[in-house]
């Protein structure tokens, strides 16, 4: 039995996969579990099995991106789902380790998360300064590039993203006239929403020049540029005092060595009776590392923290975690919508970039989706306060406020 046969036989226990190799062999593996879609793939050159086996997390993606691995039944979402379902985090089954050399390289690459001022801006530009049209093609109308909130899994993406903004706003316990800081404001959707529904003044900060242009234009078009302002500035360089701080989908780019610095700065910026809401991708269980594909192609410098890492760092700043919520599968549902919209826009995306970029993007969305449904990823929403008397002593106000907030 070849090394590849051993590897694939160990991996595929559930579902059904058929593999055609370049030397004319065919392997069929799995128990045929009907809850997983059957997949058929073909390797177009003889070197693919060994290439993938050495570093599965990175090389499987690159083989697919380069057209060395073709999918004949199903699609890349089905293939990645099948792989990850055979190694569910809850089961503690490790299936994709690769060779020791490449495993060590991946660990070293994942440890490089020193996001100083220059590197942070470059890392943000790598992902968020892509062609503006790309994000229009797969995101919702408000361009919310973060986990949506599904009060019903059948909801469409626009409804779920609107519900996400209301869910967060309710936790901020806003009052008219307050000053709000939005750290990592994206294209301005959250800032504009908070101003509209709560009559607050908002400063949004970003390191993406493309996002800044769009956010400022949107504020001008809405006629609120005097109350909703956006700046290109690193949070570390900001001064002032804010009644509320919100940060959605930015903490993943801070880097573990800077966690304490981040929370100390937030405490410095937050009024004594202020409230902060942190929304971030996180990992279940203990701290880990970012996979090699994501670091190389998608989010250089990115890392999804364990809850223990977040809380330990915020404790140093004496910020009280007044409420913690884990969103277990909401991002998986979000990514399903993004994937479907990306596939529907295939020709337009290839026209913007090329076939290899399209394959890379669909692999990224598929891998992220599977990590939330089967792997060790989730989302955390953590509410922080400086003074224990700041908020009502029960959390009923959140649900009550969320009900009447406009969408």
What integer is the mean pLDDT of 326-351? 98
Domains and CATH numbers, the chain: 3-98 (3.30.1050), 117-404 (3.40.50.150)
Tell me the average pLDDT of the chain.
92
324 within 8 A of 152, measured Cβ to Cβ: no
Length of the chain: 407
Q: Is the pLDDT of residue 98 over 80?
A: no
Distance CA 165, CA 329 (A): 17
290 within 8 A of 110, measured Cβ to Cβ: yes
212 within 8 A of 185, measured Cβ to Cβ: no
Note the pLDDT tens digit of each residue in 5-14.
777 888 999 9
Distance CA 155, CA 162 (A): 11
Q: What percent of the chain has a predicted confidence (pLDDT) above 70?
A: 90
Pick left, alpha or beta for residue 127 (phi over 0 → left; psi -120 to 50 → alpha; otherwise beta): alpha
Q: Is the pLDDT of residue 116 over 80?
A: no
Note the pLDDT tens digit of each residue in 34-71.
999 999 999 999 999 999 988 998 999 999 999 999 99
Q: Is the pLDDT of residue 325 over 70?
A: yes
Which residue, chain included where needed, has tokens 């509209």? 196
Give the model's pLDDT for residue 127: 56
Contacts of 402 (CB under 8 A, 6+ apart): 166, 167, 169, 170
Reference 311, options 280, 270, 288, 289; nearest CA is 280
Note the pLDDT tens digit of each residue in 276-308.
999 999 999 999 999 999 999 999 989 999 999
Neighbour-count burial for 212-240, b at 16+ CB within 10 Å, e otherwise: bebbbebbeeeebeebbbbeeebbeebee
Give the model's pLDDT for residue 8: 84
Give the model's pLDDT for residue 269: 98
Reference 308, options 331, 324, 327, 292; nearest CA is 324
- Look up the pTM and report it: 0.92
Residue 232 banded pLDDT, cuts 50, 70, 90 = very high
Give the model's pLDDT for residue 104: 44
């Amino acid at each position: 039995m070849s090394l590849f046969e051993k590897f694939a036989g160990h991996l595929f226990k559930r579902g059904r996969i058929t593999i055609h190799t370049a030397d004319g062999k065919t392997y069929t593996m799995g128990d045929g579990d009907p809850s997983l879609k059957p997949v058929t793939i073909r390797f177009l050159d003889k070197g693919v099995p060994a290439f993938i086996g050495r570093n599965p997390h990175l090389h499987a993606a690159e083989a697919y991106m380069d057209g060395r691995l073709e999918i004949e039944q199903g699609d890349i979402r089905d293939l990645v789902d099948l792989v990850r379902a055979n190694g569910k985090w809850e089961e503690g089954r490790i299936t994709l380790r690769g060779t020791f050399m490449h495993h060590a390289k991946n660990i070293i690459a994942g440890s490089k998360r020193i996001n100083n001022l220059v590197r942070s801006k470059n890392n943000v530009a790598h992902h968020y300064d892509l062609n503006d049209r790309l994000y229009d093609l797969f995101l919702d109308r408000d361009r919310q590039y973060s986990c949506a909130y599904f009060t019903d899994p059948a909801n469409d993406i626009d409804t779920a993203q609107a519900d996400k903004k209301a869910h967060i706003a309710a936790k901020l316990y806003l009052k008219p006239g307050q000053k709000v800081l939005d750290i990592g404001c994206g294209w301005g959707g959250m800032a504009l929403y908070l101003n509209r529904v709560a009559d607050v003044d908002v400063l949004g900060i970003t390191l993406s020049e493309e996002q800044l242009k769009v956010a400022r234009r949107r504020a001008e078009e809405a006629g609120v540029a005097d109350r909703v302002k956006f700046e290109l500035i690193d949070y570390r360089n900001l001064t002032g005092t804010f009644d509320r701080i919100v940060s959605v989908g930015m903490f993943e780019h801070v880097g573990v060595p800077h966690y304490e610095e981040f929370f100390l700065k937030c405490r410095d910026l937050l009024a004594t009776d202020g409230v902060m809401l942190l929304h971030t991708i996180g990992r279940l269980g203990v701290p880990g590392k970012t996979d090699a594909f994501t670091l190389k192609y998608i989010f250089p410098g990115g890392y999804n923290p364990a809850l223990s890492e977040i809380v330990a760092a915020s404790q140093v700043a004496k910020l009280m975690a007044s409420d913690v919520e884990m969103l277990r599968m909401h991002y998986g549902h979000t990514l399903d919508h993004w994937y479907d919209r990306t596939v529907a826009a295939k020709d337009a995306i290839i026209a913007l970039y090329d076939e290899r970029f399209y394959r890379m993007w669909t692999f990224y969305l598929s891998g992220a989706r599977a990590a939330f449904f089967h792997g060790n990823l989730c989302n955390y929403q953590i509410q922080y306060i400086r003074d224990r008397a700041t908020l009502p002593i029960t959390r009923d106000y959140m649900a009550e406020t969320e009900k009447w907030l406009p969408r």
